[in-house]
Amino acid sequence: MSCLFCKIVEGSIPSRKVYEDEQVVAFHDIQPQAPVHLLVIPKKHIASLNDAEAEDAEVLGRLQLVAQQVAREAGLSESGYRVVTNSGKDAGQIVFHIHYHVLGGEKLALLGN
Ligand code: 5GP
Ligand code: ZN
């Protein structure tokens, strides 16, 4: 299996996990772009949002609720945070296993700036 995040799911590549359940894993981004930068991913390999299907609706919803939970546990509920997914090359997607970035801990620049 060649997918980096599938390897993080199975544990053959180490990561600083902050959350895990049957469907979802969350861990610290290796190159943080903000004081808090977490990645929330499904255990199931879905390449990008563009590749998600109707049967993935439940896990996509779970990703958002886990994003909310890990943001809360990182102390971001009051100050706020951003949840974003890059889909495809124009968005700058590098890892083709869908992931939601959870960013916060400082005033974030507006998207596009
Ligand atoms: P993308 O541009 O695909 O939305 O973002 C991929 C993210 O994965 C980047 O923020 C990058 O720093 C992160 N990343 C890449 N390789 C690794 C890794 O091996 N471990 C962790 N924890 N994060 C990674
Ligand atoms: Zn994968």
Protein residues near ligand 2, an ion, with CB under 5 A: 3, 5-6, 45, 97
Summarised one tens digit per residue, pLDDT across range 36-82 is 999 999 999 999 999 999 999 999 999 999 999 999 999 999 999 99
What does each C-alpha distance from 47 to 53, 77, 83, 107 come to in angstroms? 11, 29, 18, 30
Is the minimum distance from the CB of 1 to ligand 1 under 6 angstroms?
no
Architecture of domain 4-104: 2-Layer Sandwich (3.30)
DSSP state of 50: G
All structural domains of the chain with their residue ranges: 4-104
Nearest-5° Cα angle at 36, 90 to 81 = 70
> What pLDDT, on the 0 to 100 scale, is given for residue 111?
79
Whether pTM > 0.90 for this model: the answer is: yes
**C-alpha of residue 113 to centroid of ligand 1, in Å:** 21
> What pLDDT, on the 0 to 100 scale, is given for residue 86?
98
> What pLDDT, on the 0 to 100 scale, is given for residue 113?
59
| Segment 84-96 mean pLDDT | 97
